[in-house]
């Protein structure tokens, strides 16, 4: 295996001067790497900021804010479980040996580091439209495998930006796709908004996820983001390879959990219990039953049946259908739990932040203040900004939608803006600011071996570069 040559760019030629985008990205990355705290400390700092803001701006007392914080910890346990299942079902499917092998073959396609980064980014954003948990894990694995292949083949690929590319699905396209929290919540019968009288009935997915507005936004966003990733990518000679972040001795050991699925024909199970646990017949039967139920619902109710419960149900049984053996499927879920550990730890803290923001009135104050200055023409931008601001403190698309949703919908009604368009505009802000808040990057950090501060300078650079484009797209794309 030949180490990368980071001093020259091919044939002994001098390394060309960096462009303006590369210089800006490098400068921002250096600052963030020096100053950014860990994700857990990030959540603690945000908790104190909201605590003080509630006292100063809403007049709540310290004891009240502490009570709001405690109560908030337990408000969304059911939703937290749904989000964890989305992540874990995505993890299990992503680490199937055939899928993992396909990713390794894809890493051989790029001819240089810039192409490698763009390929990982486009892949991550496209898959996120299908399933955000699948994208988060697949994007992380793809970034790591691309870094390994580039190092092995002597290609200069900047690993921090490769990791950002693997995270772009969560940072851009996920909340307009098939596993999008806010649209799916509105399309779930008996949801919080119906019970509260905010809407009269479900808002079908045809008005949100499958609207031409959302689809055009997704396609153009992927193209524009790919261009910015290309422009940010350092030229050969200024890259930092994967070996600067992952111990080279362990880098090419297969510790990813992607070992081949044991061949049922080559193993023997001595006891009836072992035979039942590993029965492909039983596993396949229940898997096909679940898949058939998904097909039945989609055939009878159309794409509007695609809500949060059906997403989890579909991917849960799709995973069992792929792995077949119940015991082996359970083992893979055990591995998935490790990837979800950071989110499980931090979710209650961010739920506590949401509890303070909601109960003290901070969320409503932010939303009402922004919507008060909106017009029918600027409303999508205001909804985007509101979603982005609150997502910084409550990085849960569905959790913050529960808080912001009523204000967004009521303001949209007042301006004559379709609820579907308003929901997608909010979703853009929620996804976009994931490039600033490292909460959802925790599984990616664990898989890639990189630290948040080592990659988030480039994530923030992408956030800044995409801001003008998104502002224009939200207004100019017809609904």
Q: Where are the domains of the chain?
A: 22-476
Structure confidence at residue 66 (pLDDT):
96
Structure confidence at residue 307 (pLDDT):
67
Torsional class of 416: left (φ above 0), alpha (ψ -120 to 50), beta (otherwise): left
pLDDT tens-digit series, residues 233-245 = 998 889 999 999 9
User: CB of 117 within 8 A of CB of 147?
Assistant: no
Residues recorded for the chain: 479
Structure confidence at residue 452 (pLDDT):
93
Q: Please choose, from the candidates 8, 27, 25, the residue with its C-alpha nearest in 3D space to the C-alpha of residue 16.
A: 8
Structure confidence at residue 21 (pLDDT):
92
Low-confidence ranges of the chain (pLDDT < 50): 1-12, 254-265
Structure confidence at residue 7 (pLDDT):
39
Structure confidence at residue 256 (pLDDT):
45
Structure confidence at residue 4 (pLDDT):
47
Structure confidence at residue 431 (pLDDT):
95
CA 66 to CA 280: how far, in whole Å? 52
Question: Which residue shows structure tokens 């990713």?
Answer: 103
CA 212 to CA 437: how far, in whole Å? 29
Q: Is the dihedral of CA 91, 96, 97, 99 positive or negative?
A: negative
Q: What are phi and psi of 258, to 5 degrees?
A: -100, 25
User: CB of 161 within 8 A of CB of 114?
Assistant: no
Q: Cα separations (Å) of 97 from 257, 260, 393?
A: 9, 6, 37
Q: Please choose, from the candidates 416, 417, 402, the residue with its C-alpha nearest in 3D space to the C-alpha of residue 198.
A: 402
């Amino acid at each position: 295996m030949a180490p990368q040559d980071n001093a020259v760019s091919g044939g002994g030629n001098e390394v060309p001067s960096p462009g303006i985008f590369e210089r800006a990205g490098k400068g921002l990355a250096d600052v963030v790497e020096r100053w950014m705290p860990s994700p857990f400390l990030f959540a603690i700092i945000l908790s104190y900021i909201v605590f003080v803001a509630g006292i100063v701006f809403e007049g709540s007392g310290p004891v009240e804010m502490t009570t709001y914080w405690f109560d908030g910890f337990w408000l969304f346990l059911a939703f937290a479980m749904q989000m964890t299942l989305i992540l874990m079902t995505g993890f299990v499917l992503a680490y199937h040996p055939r899928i993992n092998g396909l990713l390794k073959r894809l890493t051989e396609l790029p001819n240089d580091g810039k192409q490698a980064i763009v390929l990982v980014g486009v892949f991550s954003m496209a898959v996120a439209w299908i399933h955000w948990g699948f994208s988060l894990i697949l994007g992380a694995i793809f970034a790591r495998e691309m870094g390994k292949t580039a190092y092995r083949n002597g290609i200069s690929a900047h690993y921090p930006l490769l990791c950002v590319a693997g995270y772009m699905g969560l940072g851009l396209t996920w909340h307009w796709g098939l596993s999008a929290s806010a649209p799916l919540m509105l399309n779930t019968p008996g949801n919080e908004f119906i019970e509260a009288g905010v809407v009269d009935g479900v808002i079908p997915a045809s008005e949100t996820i499958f609207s031409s507005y959302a689809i055009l936004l997704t396609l153009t966003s992927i193209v524009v983001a790919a261009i910015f990733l290309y422009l940010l990518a350092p030229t050969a000679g200024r890259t930092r390879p994967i070996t600067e972040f992952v111990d080279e001795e362990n880098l090419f050991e297969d510790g990813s959990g992607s070992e081949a699925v044991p061949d049922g024909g080559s193993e023997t199970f001595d006891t009836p219990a072992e035979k039942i646990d590993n029965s492909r017949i039983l596993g396949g039967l229940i898997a096909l039953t679940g898949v058939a139920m998904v097909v039945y619902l989609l055939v009878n109710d159309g794409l509007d049946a695609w809500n949060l419960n059906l997403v989890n149900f579909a991917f849960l049984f799709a995973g069992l259908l792929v792995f077949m053996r119940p015991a082996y499927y359970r083992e893979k879920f055990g591995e998935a739990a490790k990837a979800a550990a950071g989110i499980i730890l931090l979710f209650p803290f961010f739920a506590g932040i949401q509890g303070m923001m909601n109960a003290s009135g901070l969320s409503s104050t932010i939303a009402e203040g922004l919507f008060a200055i909106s017009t029918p023409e600027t409303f999508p931008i205001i909804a985007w900004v509101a979603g982005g601001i609150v997502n910084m403190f409550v990085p849960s698309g569905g959790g913050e939608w529960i808080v912001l949703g009523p204000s967004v919908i009521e303001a949209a009604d007042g301006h004559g803006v379709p609820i579907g368009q308003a929901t997608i505009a909010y979703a853009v802000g929620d996804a976009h600011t994931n490039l600033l808040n490292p909460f959802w990057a925790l599984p990616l950090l664990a898989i890639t071996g990189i630290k948040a501060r080592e990659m988030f300078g480039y994530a923030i650079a992408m956030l800044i570069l995409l801001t003008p484009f998104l502002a224009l797209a939200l207004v100019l794309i017809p609904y």
